[in-house]
Structure formats: structure tokens, C-alpha cells
Amino acid sequence: MKRLAITTGEPAGIGPEISLESAQLFLDANPNVCIHLIGDASFFKRASHPRLVIDHLPIATPVTPGRLDVANAPYVLATLDLALKGSREGAYDAIVTAPVQKSVIKESGIDFSGHTEYFAQACGVPLVVMMLCGAPIFDSDLLPSQIRVALATTHIPIHKVPQAISEDLLVRTIDIIHGDLRSKFGIKNPVIYVAGLNPHAGESGHMGQEEIRMIEPAIAIAKAKGYVVEGPLAGDTIFSPKNLKSCDAILAMYHDQGLAPFKFATFGSGVNVTLGLPIIRTSVDHGTALGIAGKGIADCSSMMAALELALQLAKKHGSSSA
């Protein structure tokens, strides 16, 4: 029996409702799975499945769908802490996270930039990698069955990206991607394509030096280790159908370079997975959708996909609960 934990996210958003709906649908389709919903039990009064467990944490103040309240920011982080504790102790085989509202957590006075960074700090891991996985929504033989896009930098302003990238960062990032594609995804010899930072991948230094000073040396080091890595490739062509079918993952230099084309191609099926952690963590690829919270119209497709990937990774990892 595999045990998956869902942290149900920002209570004023769609997290609680998509967590409950997807959990019950997923359990119907997967008889050897138990799901724990981590959050206030009042959100899950309709829970009825015998393999659905509510791990109750009380909210600080009553919730109105669509209306954020800084008083509940510590509650949101408490759900993450409980999931981490349970995963480390073997109570959960994988964590699936519903969306949180970074802005309201920051407004509460807590320094928080996202799940990825929070889990890395909590696990004492110096570097993790955010990677998005998803099936294309277009029915075409030109595209692969899965698209994977990893990020060298995550939630930072665009003007800080060039300073954040270094040869050492890229070497370690490629190491993590290569290692987890092998160990967690079962890809024996992963092929990784690396994007450039500047237009035309710098065009031999005429449009920027980052490719020459940092990206090319990092790729050379990866190749010397026996990795199959190509690049730097221009950001405007790296996502061509030919390239997508030829590689197992693309490494983008910054958030929107990678995720804009990814979400265009996969919207609704995308899953965020954190590479480099000692635990398994997947997530939806969308936000809290405050405008539709509580209306019963939220789409749980991404949460279903996140549960499916979490289960696949848990089975490969072999950390089973009997």
C-alpha cells in the first residue's frame, strides 16, 4: 500500500476542493493507495472514501473563499511541515502539494519564496531543481508523450537572473537532473538539452557573454562525466518538436523561458516535481485561482496528474509502507 500525502494549500483558494475531489477519484482508480489530506477537517466534510485519511490541522481564522487572510499563513506552512515530518518518518511515500499564495505568506512577515525553496531548506539540501513534467495537449506524432523542463533559477526577478547563474550552479544542476532522471524516472542514459540565456544563445558573444563564460564550460564538464548534454541552444528554437522528441529534459535558464512554452503545450496536465530532495514531492502547475474558489468549477486535472506521477515515483523508489 502506497501512502500519498496532499498538502491542501491556501485555504481561500481552490486547493482544498481540488485536493478532495482528485483524492477520491484517484483512490477509486488505484486500489493499492491510501491518501492523507493535510488540512483543516472542516474543508473535507464530504470525504467518504475508506482509504482517505484526514490529518487535521486547525486554521487560525475562518475562511471566505477568494479572500486571503495573513492570519492563516502559519497554518499553510504547518501543513508543509507535517507532510515533511511524515515523509521523513516513513508515514508517507510521497508528498503532493496544492497551490499556496506566496504573497500573503510574505505579507505575514514570513520569508517564503515557494515550496521548492522551503522544502530544500527544511531538508538541509543546498540545491534542488524545479522540473515540470506533462503530456502535450496537442494530438501530434511530432511531439513526445512527455515534456520535461527544468529550471536553473526559479522565483527571482528577471534582472537578477544573470547574476544568479554561474558555472558551478549549472554543473550541480545538471548533476541533479541527470541523477534523478536515472534514479527516479528510470531513464538509463538521459539526454539533456541546455538553453542559452541571451537571444540566439549569445551568438558567439555578440549578444552576451554568459554562454561563453558559464554555460558552455558547465556543459563541457558534464560531457566529461559521460553525460549526454547538448547546448547552449537558442531559447526561441530549443522547444521545437524535433528537439523535444530528441531529449529527455530541457534545462532553461529562468522561470518564464522554460515555463511559458511548457504550459502552452501541456496546460492542465503539467506537474511540478522537485529534484534533489531525499523525499518525493510533486505539485500542480497552477496557482490558487482565488477568483473561482468555492464555486465548484475548479479543474483538478493537474492535481490528478501530480498524484499519478507521485505514485509512479514512489513505486520506483521502493519506499513502500506495508
Distance (Å, whole) CA 226 – CA 215: 17
Mean pLDDT of 280-299: 94
pLDDT, residue 319, reads 42
Domains contained in the chain, CATH given: 1-125+277-322 (3.40.718.10), 129-274 (3.40.718.10)
Q: What's the pLDDT tens digit per position in 168-223?
A: 999 999 999 999 999 999 999 999 999 999 999 989 999 999 999 999 999 999 99
The percent of residues above 70 in pLDDT, for the chain, comes to: 98
pLDDT, residue 320, reads 37
Q: What's the pLDDT tens digit per position in 125-134?
A: 999 999 999 9
Q: What's the pLDDT tens digit per position in 132-158?
A: 999 998 888 888 999 999 999 998 999
Geometric angle at alpha carbon 115, from 98 and 216, rounded to 5°: 125
- Does residue 232 contact residue 216 with C-beta atoms inside 8 Å? yes
Give the β-pairing of 281-284 and 129-134.
unpaired
The distance in angstroms from the start CA to the end CA of the chain is 6
Average of per-residue pLDDT values in the chain: 94
Residue 314 has pLDDT above 80, yes or no: yes
| DSSP conformation letters of 119-163 | HHHHTT-S--EEEEEE--SS--TTS-S-EEEEESS-SS-GGGHHH
pTM for this predicted structure: 0.89
- List Cβ neighbours of 168 (8 Å cut-off, separation of 6 or more): none
Each residue of 217-249: b (16+ CB within 10 Å) or e?
A: ebbebbeeeebebebbbbbeebbeeeebeebbb
Geometric angle at alpha carbon 91, from 114 and 288, rounded to 5°: 30
Distance (Å, whole) CA 102 – CA 76: 10
Residue 116 has pLDDT above 90, yes or no: no
Helix (H, G, I), strand (E, B) or coil at 211: helix
